[in-house]
Amino acid sequence: MSPAKFIIREARAKEHPVIGALMVEVYSQLEGFPTPEEQPKYYEMLTNVGTLTQKPQVHLLAAYSPAQVLAGCVLYIGDMQYYASGGTATREENSAGFRLLAVDPRFRGQGIGKLLTKFCMEMAREERRQQLIIHSTKAMQVAWAMYQRMGFRRSEDLDFMQGTLEVYGFRLPLGD
- Report the first-to-last Cα separation within the chain, whole angstroms: 33
pLDDT at 154 over 60: yes
pTM for the full predicted model: 0.94
Average pLDDT over every residue of 153-173? 92
pLDDT score at 87: 86
pLDDT at 2 over 70: no
pLDDT at 3 over 70: no
Q: Determine what percent of the chain is predicted with pLDDT higher than 90.
A: 86
Q: Determine what percent of the chain is predicted with pLDDT higher than 70.
A: 97
The whole-angstrom distance between residue 124's C-alpha and the CA centroid of its chain comes to 14
DSSP state of 138: G
pLDDT score at 176: 57
Domains, the chain, ranges and CATH?
3-129 (3.40.630.30)
Average pLDDT over every residue of 145-173? 93
pLDDT in tens, 120-152: 999 999 999 999 999 999 888 889 999 999 999
Nearest to 148 by CA among 125, 124, 172: 172
pLDDT in tens, 30-80: 998 999 999 999 999 999 999 999 999 999 999 999 999 999 999 999 999
Q: How far is CA 171 from CA 4, 105, 147, in A?
A: 26, 27, 10
Nearest to 104 by CA among 26, 29, 34, 45: 26
Pairwise CA distance, residues 58 & 79, whole Å: 8
- φ, ψ for residue 112, nearest 5 deg: -70, -45
Nearest to 56 by CA among 141, 127, 108, 121: 127
pLDDT score at 4: 66
How open is the CA angle 152-23-138, to the nearest 5 degrees?
Answer: 45
